[in-house]
Amino acid sequence: MDFKVTPWEVEGEVDYNKLIEQFGTQPLTQELLAEFEKKAGELHLFLKRRIFFSHRDFDWILRIHHEEPFALYTGRGPTGPVHLGHLMPWIFCKYLQDKFNSNFYFQVTDDEKFLFREELSVEDTKEIAYDNILDIIACGFDSKKTFIFIDTEYAKTLYNIAITVAKRVTFSTTRAVFGFENSTNIGMIFFPAIQAVPCFLPSILEKRKAPVLIPAAIDQDNYWRVTRDVAERLGYYKPAAIHNIFLPSLTGPSGKMSASKEETAIFCKDTREQVFTKVMNAFTGGRATIAEQRKFGGNPDICTIYQYYYFLFMPDDDEVEKRHLDCKSGNIMCGPCKAELAERIWTFLEKHQERREKAKDVLEEFMLRD
Ligand code: TYM
């Protein structure tokens, strides 16, 4: 296999169909999307464009949601500032919360990032956690139905549930699923039990056996495999999941936008100038010269700029199709195409940053404390 997807690294050009096979998930079929459209009244762009492409038990969630409303669960590991890729599952969660009036649980795993990252202290990851929470709130969630918690601060509740999970997961299972080795620190080996907890937290807090749906990129699926193995033995439903593909790196089609590789990412706190510099220097599917581009056209299918339009910044289907054609036929050059994208990204980020500022005053309304 010439690519690798784990919760800690994504390398190479990911073949998402192969991942479905390798991870044993289900593709989001046309029938399932039609079913969703019937219930939600429309298809979100991320579904229409297959940015969410795979799932576990999403069909079951749709079947039972009238009788047994589902809770949403997702999370963030605070290593640095939030980037545009992180926002994708959160934007989708906001859409689902609005459509289905769902309670939304958000785990911030400062413990995970302290344990996994040599250079980060406990104080660092907590500070980054609070900074990242502003970006979460800026996505527009309903404070009455949104519960954000930081692992080290919500530890009393989490730990008591985590040990019930940990007791039923062997080292050999986590080694097989996560690739742990003898040199892995024991905090990391225990950590999957902590990321499993919010799958069960809605049942405990809402005092009902609650179905849970987890929107996240496919890199987090290892955790759900382990959690699903133990869920029924603990008296809970298996968590359902819906997986998105990765927003690509600014530097080209192999690898994802990643907070730990700064050159790959546009961060939510970037200035207008930073956005323009990054976009103007990004990898494109363009030719070496303008003359060649006019003659032979560009290749939008490997182009970062086109992908960003497709994922987030050109919601109109006709417009995005036209851009694809214009690029391939040499009707549009990379310079103006990049400048337009940078402008669109900045328009989006400017509003996000305003909401982020306002979030500082209401942060506590969103926090779950014990
Ligand atoms: P983290 O902080 O690595 O990532 C946060 C969320 O962003 C997704 N993601 C991306 N999506 C699209 N394009 C990208 N380039 C990209 N990079 C990251 C991740 O899949 C994730 O959904 N261990 C977790 C924290 C966590 C969590 C969870 C995540 C705890 N509980 C439940 C999802 C669901 C982490 O470090 O995520």
Q: Where are the domains of the chain?
A: 4-250, 262-357
**Residue bearing the CA closest to ligand 1, atom 7:** 86
Query: In the predicted model, is pLDDT for residue 134 greater than 70?
Result: yes
pLDDT at 3: 84
Q: How do residues 245-291 score in pLDDT, each as one tens digit? A: 999 999 988 889 998 888 899 999 999 999 999 999 999 999 999 99
CATH architecture of structural domain 262-357:
Orthogonal Bundle (1.10)
* The model's pTM: 0.97
**Best of 3, 76, 112 for a ligand 1 pocket test (most atoms within 8 Å of beta carbon):** 76
Residue 1: band (very low, low, confident or very high) from pLDDT cuts 50, 70, 90: low
**Residue bearing the CA closest to ligand 1, atom 19:** 217
pLDDT at 168: 98
Counting atoms of ligand 1 from 1, which one is nearest the CA of 257?
Answer: 15
On average, the pLDDT of the chain sits at 96
Residue 357: band (very low, low, confident or very high) from pLDDT cuts 50, 70, 90: very high
Superfamily name with CATH number, domain 4-250: HUPs (3.40.50.620)
Mean pLDDT of 74-87: 97
**Residue bearing the CA closest to ligand 1, atom 31:** 75
- Using the mean position of ligand 1's atoms as its centre, give its distance from the Cα of residue 327 in Å: 32
What is the 3-class SS of the chain, one letter each residue?
A: CCCEECCCCEECCCCHHHHHHHHCCEECCHHHHHHHHHHHCCCCHHHHCCCEEEEECHHHHHHHCCCCCCEEEEEECCCCCCEHHHHHHHHHHHHHHHHHCCCEEEEECHHHHHHHCCCCCHHHHHHHHHHHHHHHHHCCCCHHHEEEEEHHHCHHHHHHHHHHHHCCCCHHHHHHHHCCCCCCCHHHHHHHHHHHHHHCHHHHHHCCCCCEEEEEEHHHHHHHHHHHHHHHHHCCCCCEEEEECCCEECCEEEEECCCCCHHHCCECCCCHHHHHHHHHCCCCCCCCCHHHHHHHCCCHHHCHHHHHHHHHHCCCHHHHHHHHHHHHCCCCCHHHHHHHHHHHHHHHHHHHHHHHHHHHHHHHHHECCC
Q: How do residues 135-186 score in pLDDT, each as one tens digit? A: 999 999 999 999 999 999 999 999 999 999 999 999 999 999 999 999 999 9
